[in-house]
Amino acid sequence: MKEIFDTVSRSCSQYVTQAYSTSFSLATKMLAPSIRQDIYNIYGFVRFADEIVDSFNEYPQQLLFERFETDLSNALQEKISLNPILNSFQHTVHRYAIDQHLIDAFMKSMRQDLSKTNYLNEAEYHDYIYGSADVVGLMCLKVFVKGDLEKYDALKDSAQHLGSAFQKVNFLRDLKDDFEGLNRTYFPNTNLHALDEISKEKIIAEIEEDFRLGYQGILHLPAEAKFGVYMAYRYYRRLLKKLHRTPALEIKNKRIRVPNYEKFGLLTRCYVKYQLKLVR
């Protein structure tokens, strides 16, 4: 009975989301039930690909990634996979006609993480962010607008800026782990051996502009998606605020977090503001 397997697959994607990210999981729970599972399905897929290139360094990462890539291709073509994460992802891809080039761009950026450690110029930097973050925002947007191409085209620029903002905040937050643990430098023309306040402020100003442009799209999202995306936006803005207040050298030496009690307090305030129709 394939329906049982599909149910197990969906449950796996939901569990992966909850296990790996309390913040994203919390925001996803604020989406309407009609679209929530599909966002779990997308997150499970991108998380597994990311784990291969980031965490499995004691295993043959290149081989594992190539197998995952082959399994992904087969899942999309055959509309089934014995990998439950890919099985649930392919359902979402076909249900909303998610473009193949978005998936290809994402996998290209993940593949770069297997060998590329420095992004030396703005072109390389923005190309990586497009593949690792912007296209994930666009996949989610396809779900949010339920495949409506007119709405998708109207909101895709904002969705990309929001995806970029989230990713750049992650880069800044994870500076220590990326630089010391994985020997990666994403920010071009930035000396991470001696990160100074000027460099930090330049990065933050760039993120703030992405947030400004991304927020405009949130205002025009369908009701089923608006509050969940707004919640994620507010969480990342809070994290950026903490990074702004943290000295540059401290960011380099420890990972800055938003504690769970702050996340739930933020949820309450967001909900009140949203219900009062102050999100506009």
Q: What is the pLDDT of residue 253?
A: 73
Looking at residue 33, what is its pLDDT? 94
Name residues whose C-beta falls within 8 Å of residue 102's C-beta, 6 or more positions apart in sequence. 135, 138, 139
Q: State residue 174's pLDDT score.
A: 83
Write the DSSP assignment of 221-269 as a string of letters.
Answer: S-HHHHHHHHHHHHHHHHHHHHHHHS-HHHHHHS-----HHHHHHHHHH
Task: Write the CB contacts of 173 (distance below 8 Å, at least 6 apart in sequence).
Answer: 239, 243, 251, 255, 256, 257
Task: Give the Å distances, CA to CA, from 102 to 136, 191, 276.
Answer: 8, 32, 36
The token duo for 217 is 């799209």
| Amino acid 194: pLDDT | 66
Per-residue model confidence (pLDDT) at position 171: 86
Mean pLDDT by 10 residues, the chain (280 residues): 93 96 87 96 97 94 97 98 98 97 97 86 91 96 94 97 94 77 74 75 93 95 93 90 86 71 63 57
CATH fold for domain 2-275: Farnesyl Diphosphate Synthase (1.10.600)
pLDDT of residue 118: 80
What does the domain layout of the chain look like in residue ranges?
Answer: 2-275
